[in-house]
Every structure is written in C-alpha cells, then in structure tokens.
Chains A and B, each alone.
Chain A
Amino acid sequence: MRSALLVLALALPACGDNASLVTTPDAAPIPSTWMEELAPATGLSVWTPEFEVDAGKEIQDCYFFTVPDLKQGADLWVDRLELGLNTGSHHLNLFRVNTVYGLDPAAGAPVDMNGVSGTVIHDGECWKSANWRDWPLVANDQNSPPGHPVLDWRLPTNVAQRFTPGEKLMLQIHYVNASTQTTPARARGGVNLHWSTDGDTEELGTLFATQQSIRICRSNPTPSYSGGCGLPAGAHTVVAANGHFHSRGQAFRIYGWDGLNTDPPADADMFYKSEHWAEPKMAIDLSVPLVDGGGIRWTCDYQWIEPEVGCAAVDAADPQHAGDCCYTFGPNVETNEHCNVFLYYYPKAARSDITCF
C-alpha cells in the first residue's frame, strides 16, 4: 500500500515552486501538488501564508480580501474553483462578508495572501459562528488527504458564481493538530477563482444550514438530529453538496424534499451520504432536480465515544454543565459537534443565498 502510494505520488506532476512535502506518520514524505498561480486575466489566487500548528492545538483564522475591479466595474463570473488545503485541515469556508458583528475585517492584522493584500483575524472572534450568521456561503472544502491538497471544482456548463468588484470575502480555515485530527506538516489554505470566459448565464446559489443546540451525551449515546429547508418557488438543480460533523458523527444524509411531506424521508430521495467525518465526500458531480417549491432535508446520526481529551474537558465546554460528558454545538473538534449542510444549486434564488438556522 505504501509503495503504491509512493508510485502514485511520484506520478503526480510537481508544480514548480508550489510543490511541497507532506509527511504522514508511517510513510516517507509524499509530494503534494498545490495550485498554479493564476494571472489576473485568468483568475484570482488567494493563498494564506504557511504556518505551524502546535501539537495539541486547534487554529481557526479568518482571512479577508476584496474582489478586484478588473472590468471597469462589471461583475466577475467564476466557473471553476480550486480549493486548497494542506493535510491536517478540518475545513475551509469562503463567505461573502455581510453585516459586521464581532468579526471586523478592519480589526485584522495586515496579511499578504500570495500577492493579494488583506487582513487576518487569528482565533478569537473567528471562532464565533454568530459573527457570520448572515454572510452568504461561497464555497467550502473539508478534504486534505496526503498528496491531494486541491479540490478542482468545475461548475456545470453555463453555471457560474457572480462577484461584484469591491465585495469583501472571508476565507476561514480551521486546522487541528490534536487527538482526533493531526497536521503533520505546515498548514495552508487557499482558493483559485477562475474567471468564466464563455458567457455563463445561470448563477450558482448556495445554501448553508446548521442544527443548533445539539447534544451527544453519554446517557443518550446514539442521538439523531434532522432538519428541513425550503427553497423559493421555481425549478432548482443541486450540483454539489457536503455535510459536516465531528468525530462522533456516524452518517450524514441529505434528501430532496417536496416541502410538504413531514414523514421520515425515503431512501429513494437521498442524494448524499457521508460516513467519514474527517474527510467527508464533497459531491461535486451532482445533478439533482428539486421539486418546484421544495427543498432539502437532512439527518445527522451520532455515536457518543469516550473523549480523547477526557470528560472533564467536554463537560467544561457544556453550557448546561450537565456533567453527562455531552458534546455540544460548537466548532472545537475535540469537545463540540456540528451538523452543517453545504449545498450548491442553480439558478440562484432571486432574493439571496439561503441560510437555514
């Protein structure tokens, strides 16, 4: 297996100075191919600097940058996204900045992101999800297997995402180097946004949903949470989706829904299932038509496990202080849990991108 991996890794073309080495605990370093830098006429490359994640630590940083004006104020359309994460990442999320609550781009430290100037807020307010409660999702990625740090996502024919010059975006990356996930080498995240050149007319829309107030407790070790979210009237097609939970997550399922039926969703309506919390499948090849006036439903099934960090740490993070070793809603991989849906569809609903929470 190791030999096969090495052969595969060597067969992957290195990418000039962008090739770096990723180490795994039981194998020699694997060449890891990063993205190619895009010329301004081709797209925008926004890559964070590389950084260390100390053992036992989780880092969540929010990088802010501005969409450039390249066409005399005209909107820019993107029909291909490359999402890059060095091994060890928990997630990368790209949002459009909307109302500024506690997470203020202006309060960040200046940072150079591969030639793109911006600011970064390290930890602190970047951990508090209420800060981006009305920030529309652009894209996300949770996969960073050794040797394959880049997800190359080409949108369907005639579909693209639209950006307005001057619009502020936030690239959030979360790295873990602790018991449930490890970061074997230096961390980095980034995106390549490829400008569309073929006159795409269908705008991609996004949907971000999350279950709040969830609890996975020792006394009730196999809970399941579920939700439903409707889209505005009209025909919509899902093109990509993924689910996000932490290590207690057993199965994440997403279903098409007619927006009317409240009986348990049928297997026949399921279009996404993940049983791998650390590297959940990002389905980018979907073509799922939703019922006009319908939407999606989802379920998150959990199995409580003895925490690697001990119940005292988990109890300390429980706002109810129940003393039942409950993993509760939140971003910390070791002590919290999530049940988040990231969904991509077209055409974009007239009003805005969709949040369900």
Chain B
Amino acid sequence: MRVLAPLLLALAACPGPQPYPCVVGDLTQPPELQLVYRDANGAMMPLANGAMVPLTRAPQGGHIMLVSVRVKNAQLCDATLQAALKDPCTGRVAGLEGRPITWTIAADGFAEPQSPMELSDYANLAVCPAANNTREIDGAPWKLEVKLYQSGGASIDQTIDVTPSCDVSSDPESCRCECRFDCTSTVDAGVPSC
C-alpha cells in the first residue's frame, strides 16, 4: 500500500476537468526543474545559465521576457509560476510576474507548457521600461529567478544568469530605448560593475 501511495497521488484528478494530472512524476523523488524561454519564432527553447533571452514586444506595449519551466516530480494543480529579473549588483527586481500554466505531459515524463507558441504559458516578465532601473537591460548580465509555487506554498526555485536582448525584437530601436535607463536620453547608462 505504501508503494501504491505515490501512484494513487499521481492519479488523483484535479478539481474540475483539468486536462492534466495533479502530479507529474514521483513526489518521493527530488523535483526537477528545467527553464525554458520563447524565442523570436515562437518556439520553446531550453534556457541555460548565461544564455541570451530575447525581449519581445508585448501586446499592450513595452518589452517582455517570456520564461517558463519544464518540471518533474512536482504537484501541478494550482501551481503558479513566478519569474523575476534581478539586478546582479543590488538584488533589486526590475520585473516580476506570476501566473498559472496550462500543462501537458511530454514523452520524457516532464510537464511542460501546453501551448508553447502562446504568451499565456510563459511568465510575461515586463522589464522594459522599468521605472526603477538604474542600469542597462539590453545586452547586460542580469539574474533570472524562477519559482514554481505548488499547492500548499512550497516552491521549486532556480536562479541563473541571463542577458536580455533586443536584437531579435520586431522593433529593436524602441526596445533599446525602453530598456535604457532614460529613454529620453541617447546616452546609455552603461553596465556598472558590481
């Protein structure tokens, strides 16, 4: 019966007609989290430490980073994804967003965004413009902190280095302006060393 417990948990249905199981993998095993981002062509790509992350024009304006996760050995029902872009020097947060994700179970046993082409299955991390920003965002190193909050409040966390980039934005010029310390200035604030 003890052996069956995780299986039973895994089979437990979500409240409502949710199209995925409440648990992915085995909760007795350590959770596994893989970060992903949406590239300029709308494809879901693995997000490695030190990677460049494209800034995308958001529907209502501004430029956003689209970050999500693939996860295993975790609870999915009522899970909330949260992403934050942090200044590596000060720890100050330039953008923070939390949302639910609609999951699908991939062949490798990981839960991943069901609609990787869509904006809604990624944290829409609004970072340009950021009123509290004091350093360049485009092309500069930042910390990306990602948390997956499971029901009950426990979270699976991962923080990596990333470089947001306007290079593949549909309007790189306005992206660079919005990402500058002062968009009315033509002078970059530069990237101060910590």
- Which residues in A have some Cβ–Cβ distance to B below 8 Å? 129-130, 133-134, 207, 210-215, 217-233, 259-260, 262, 264, 293, 295, 297, 299, 320, 322, 328-329, 349, 351, 354-357
Instruction: Contact check, B98 vs A349: say whether CB atoms are below 8 A apart.
Output: no
Instruction: Contact check, A262 vs B60: say whether CB atoms are below 8 A apart.
Output: no
Question: Provided the pairs A262-B145, A262-B147, A356-B131 are in contact, do residues A225 and B60 lie with their beta carbons within 8 angstroms?
Answer: no
Instruction: Contact check, B98 vs A320: say whether CB atoms are below 8 A apart.
Output: no
Whole-angstrom distance between the Cβ of B79 and the nearest chain A Cβ: 10
Binds A, one of B25-33, B44-52, B86-94, B104-112: B86-94
Chain B, interface size category, equals 35 or more
What would 14 A/B residue contacts be, using CB atoms closer than 8 Å?
A133-B60, A211-B124, A215-B102, A219-B102, A220-B16, A220-B18, A224-B100, A225-B100, A262-B82, A262-B84, A262-B96, A264-B153, A322-B115, A357-B58
Whole-angstrom distance between the Cβ of B176 and the nearest chain A Cβ: 15
Question: Provided the pairs A133-B60, A213-B59, A320-B120 are in contact, do residues A223 and B99 lie with their beta carbons within 8 angstroms?
Answer: yes
Instruction: Contact check, B61 vs A227: say whether CB atoms are below 8 A apart.
Output: no
Label chain B's interface by main secondary structure: loop
Question: Provided the pairs A230-B94, A351-B182 are in contact, do residues A357 and B62 lie with their beta carbons within 8 angstroms?
Answer: yes
Instruction: Contact check, A356 vs B93: say whether CB atoms are below 8 A apart.
Output: no
Whole-angstrom distance between the Cβ of A261 and the nearest chain B Cβ: 8
Bound-complex Cα distance A223 to B96 (A): 17
Chain A residues near B130: list those with CB within 8 A: 230
Nearest CB to that of B133 among chain A residues?
A230
Bound-complex Cα distance A207 to B129 (A): 13
Bound-complex Cα distance A221 to B15 (A): 9
Chain B residues near A297: list those with CB within 8 A: 96
Whole-angstrom distance between the Cβ of B3 and the nearest chain A Cβ: 31
B126 on the A face (CB < 8 A): yes
Report which of A217, A228, A354 forms a contact with B96, defined as CB distance below 8 A: A228
B169 on the A face (CB < 8 A): no
Question: Provided the pairs A224-B80, A262-B145 are in contact, do residues A213 and B120 lie with their beta carbons within 8 angstroms?
Answer: yes
Instruction: Contact check, A212 vs B60: say whether CB atoms are below 8 A apart.
Output: yes
Instruction: Contact check, B124 vs A212: say whether CB atoms are below 8 A apart.
Output: yes
Bound-complex Cα distance A197 to B129 (A): 35
Bound-complex Cα distance A219 to B134 (A): 41
Bound-complex Cα distance A314 to B81 (A): 25
B188 on the A face (CB < 8 A): no
